[in-house]
Amino acid sequence: MRGSSSSTCRRDHKASVTLSQKEMITTKRNAARYVQQGYGHADSEALRITADHRPPTRGPRCLDGVMSWVANVLLNVDLFEDPSVVESFTSWLETEAPRSYSAEARGVGFLLPLHEHAEAWGGWKNPECRTWGGALNHASIPDVVKYFAELPWRRPDLAQLLVQDQDQELGAFRLWMLREGRAQQHAPLPEHEEDEFRADCNE
């Protein structure tokens, strides 16, 4: 999803971004939602998102002149997992992970340890889990899942990756766990999904 220049992402600059054919296929079903939220308009040939106003965001609003595409990611691992494995994952996300719009562009964000911030949790006790979270921008989700599956987890059967991509149907998280050396999607159940996303992650 390429803009004509970095000004495409400026909040005070009214411009339109036309999605690529692949992105249009996966997001056209959400056209009504974008229009209802005031983010743009849809025509008969392509979904166009008008960047005339957007809610405030954290960090850069765009990469390489491309409007943001957010994936919410949670990683939950064994309580006794080697911290260096998680560190290698988040370092890869920040510096090496390919972006969805270009195989050459690298870096999509990073994860922070949510379990170290008890003030963000409800209840009367500190969380007893090892959970990281991050809002990634333009992450190639199949590549993220593949890298997650290849890491040397202490207990692979306890490693969980949850991803809510921006075009995810109904706003649900997809849950991947490792079985027989591969990342398998456990929720939503694959047979209930209409797109080809799950197959792409296991190619």
What is the rounded distance in angstroms from the CA atom of residue 91 to the CA atom of residue 89? 5
Whose tokens are 């987890």? That residue is 153
Mean pLDDT for the chain overall: 74
More confidently predicted of 192 and 168:
168
Query: What φ, ψ does residue 126 adopt, rounded to 5°?
Result: -75, 150
> Where are the extended beta strands (E) located within the chain?
16-18, 40-42, 47-50, 62-63, 66-67, 70-77, 98-99, 102-106, 112-113, 130-137, 160-165, 174-179, 182-187
Amino acid making up residue 1: M
pLDDT in tens, 109-142: 999 999 999 999 999 999 999 999 999 999 999 9
Task: Report, as an integer, the average pLDDT of 17-27.
Answer: 40
